[in-house]
A and B are shown apart, each in its own frame.
Chain A
Amino acid sequence: MGKVLMKGNEVIGEAAIHAGCIYFFGYPITPQSELVAYMAKRLPEVNGLFLQAESEVAAINMVYGAASAGVRVMTSSSSPGFSLKQEGISYLAGAELPAVIVNIGRGGPGLGNIQPAQSDYFQVTKGGGHGDYYTPVLAPSTLQEIIELTSEAFRIADDYRTPVILLGDGMLGQMMEPVEFRGIEEKEFKEKDWATSGTEGDGPPRVITSLDLSDIKLEERNNRLQEKYSMIKKQEIKVDSLYTEDAEYIVIAYGTVARMVQSAIEKAREEGMKIGLIRPVTLWPFPSEVISRISEDIKGILAVEMSAGQMVEDVRLAVEGKTPVSFYGRTGGVIPSVEEIYEAIMKLGKGVTA
């Protein structure tokens, strides 16, 4: 298959199908609605199932049911709808069920607007729902990368029995780019002998629950979850670096805004500034070590986000004061221009914090 021109939201859908997910429960919300419509059209063609739920709450609980029955399953939404899914995500984490949840973020808080934003970072990377849990979060910055990371999201979900979040924003969802579905074939999936799909006489009945009335039992469950999170931190961190070898300054940005940052950095390098880019691909687990290490050898870091400053908190935690960290962001769905970011970069080292 050669390259095809597709919209980001549709790429997510096709990538999910390529990853062996043929079950999708959705609810319309801009700017992710094309994904719902794409699945409604495509899934029947591959003998799968698309169901429009009555709400995001119902959709995530249908996902919980399908995941407990042992299939690869996906749902998607945008910020306000994602908030509604949090209860279900907490249950998925507690009951250790694999599923992929897409958030194509938009401006908030409240109803906000339908323009792209990265202001759900806290919500997706810090658990978001009740209880001690994390969900792996993958943040593609191109449509081609969506394909790779969607497949990864399902692998991680199955390997660790955990919900995984694919985080984009309205820009990624709406833009068109040529993509190629290469190197993804039908895979043998992990057998899910824990799934409640009817015993068929093969062993005793199975139970899926997140409830432990005994405190000791619930602590054991929590310990198991924490061990799983340590494993994920050890094995699943992904980060992309550019021009970091000679860099005196580093910009840290993820998702689509990292593309504008890259252009701004290239412009600054033409001016002779030694500046590089670190782009976290997994937002949780966060590439703290990479950032910590590099912060020992540089003069400063600039975090750029389409938010009032959320990821920058993780950057500061990683840097531990070893180098100054400044921030540049736009909110409300405003996409920072290459020029603005360039200007913010040029202020680095001049003692000015944007």
Chain B
Amino acid sequence: MKTVFKRTAGLKDNDTHYCPGCTHGIIHRLVAETLEELGALERTVGVASVGCSVLAYDYFNCDMTQAAHGRAPAVATGIKRVLPDDRLVFTYQGDGDLASIGMGEIVHSAARSENITVIFVNNAIYGMTGGQMAPTSLIGQKTATSPGGRTPRAQGLPIRVSEMLATLDGSTYIERVSTHNVPHIIKAKKAIRKAFETQEKQQGFSLIEVLSTCPTNWGLTPEESLDWVRDEMIPYYPLGIYKDIRKEREGV
């Protein structure tokens, strides 16, 4: 019999704890497949953050360290700087983790052009703690801590992380992708691969922002959630490459 689909060696054989319709699982798979394809699982160290993906170490089939809330880029810096150059180090962070409490760490890691890869999962909400407002929540979005909907006056405006980090001279490769349909998932995979290759070639800081769903806290069905990404998130968070200076960084 011909095998048409199998588990990637990049993932452990564990049941998922993610909610039905949550695209965290898809993003895990994309990262895991990439590491497998690069033949890098045995020389990769992943850093799990605090959020729904805190248990990422139950899934990724490589050495994993768990970091304090927002601090994953600093932890990754410590790991990367003391290990041989062939080691790949990545963080996997939500938008509360990276863009709120961990804003300092991510900005300075990018500014230093730390040779790490950041998988930044933007679902416009705090998933794990039960649907509170994130720095990325959209104007008008109702959350547990913006029950009347986010307003610019009361809660300020959403942060576009990719655009912001792209302004730093230190960042090398930054792209925003989405997981709301198959063509975009395929694009997301390509972007993730480019990011790890950037690191592989010692070209410096790479970050892939992945728009992701949270049906549970958005109060939508899985299908409606995919539409919400397309109709509400992408207009505010346009997809595309925000920074690509890999050529300039060659041999640096």
Chain A residues within CB distance 8 Å of chain B: 23, 25, 49, 51, 53-55, 57-59, 61-69, 71, 73, 87-88, 91, 95, 196-201, 205-211, 213
Contacts and interface: CB of A to CB of B under 8 A. Distances in A.
Of the listed residues B42, B71, B87, the one surrounded by the most CB atoms of chain A closer than 10 A to its CB is B71
A69 B104 contact: no
A68 B61 contact: no
A298 to B, nearest CB: 46
Contacts of A71: 82
Contact of B66 (A198, A200, A208): A208
Interface of A, secondary structure class, is mixed
Interface in B185-239: none
Given A57-B74, A65-B67, A69-B82, 20 more contacts: A23-B81, A49-B81, A51-B77, A54-B105, A54-B108, A55-B104, A61-B75, A61-B105, A62-B77, A65-B47, A65-B76, A66-B79, A91-B68, A95-B65, A198-B63, A199-B41, A207-B63, A207-B64, A209-B48, A211-B54
Of the listed residues B62, B67, B76, the one surrounded by the most CB atoms of chain A closer than 10 A to its CB is B67
Contact of A200 (B43, B54, B67): B43
Contacts of A59: 74
Contact of A199 (B47, B63, B82, B83): B63
**Range for the number of chain B residues in contact with chain A:** 35 or more
A63 to B, nearest CB: 6
B41 to A, nearest CB: 8
Contacts of A63: 78
A66 B45 CA distance: 12
A209 B48 CA distance: 9
A213 B52 CA distance: 13
Nearest to B75: A65
A122 to B, nearest CB: 23
Nearest to B101: A57
B113 interface: no
Contacts of B67: 61, 64-65, 91
A201 B42 CA distance: 6
27 contacts: A54-B107, A57-B105, A58-B77, A61-B78, A62-B74, A63-B78, A65-B47, A65-B65, A65-B67, A65-B80, A68-B78, A69-B45, A69-B78, A87-B68, A91-B67, A196-B79, A198-B43, A198-B62, A201-B42, A205-B60, A205-B62, A206-B64, A207-B66, A208-B66, A209-B48, A209-B57, A209-B64
Interface in B63-114: 63-68, 71, 74-83, 87, 104-105, 107-108
B155 interface: no
A69 B105 contact: no
Nearest to A66: B78
A73 B82 contact: yes
B44 interface: yes
A53 B74 CA distance: 9
Contact of A65 (B41, B48, B77): B77
B82 A49 contact: yes
Nearest to A210: B66
A73 B64 contact: no
Contacts of A61: 67-68, 71, 74-75, 78, 105
A118 B168 CA distance: 42
Q: Closest 3 A-B residue pairs measured CB to CB?
A: A65-B78, A61-B74, A209-B66
Nearest to A99: B78
Contacts of A57: 71, 74, 104-105
Given A57-B71, A198-B45, A23 B64 contact: no
Contacts of A51: 77, 81
B79 A68 contact: yes
Contact of B65 (A53, A88, A209): A209
Nearest to B80: A65
A214 B239 CA distance: 39
Interface string B31-59: 00000000001111101100000110100
Contacts of B74: 53, 57-59, 61-62, 64-65
Contacts of B80: 65
Of the listed residues B45, B57, B60, the one surrounded by the most CB atoms of chain A closer than 10 A to its CB is B45
Nearest to B50: A211
B179 to A, nearest CB: 25
Contacts of B108: 53-54, 58
Given A197-B87, A198-B45, A199-B42, A66 B82 contact: yes
Nearest to B105: A58
A54 B87 CA distance: 24
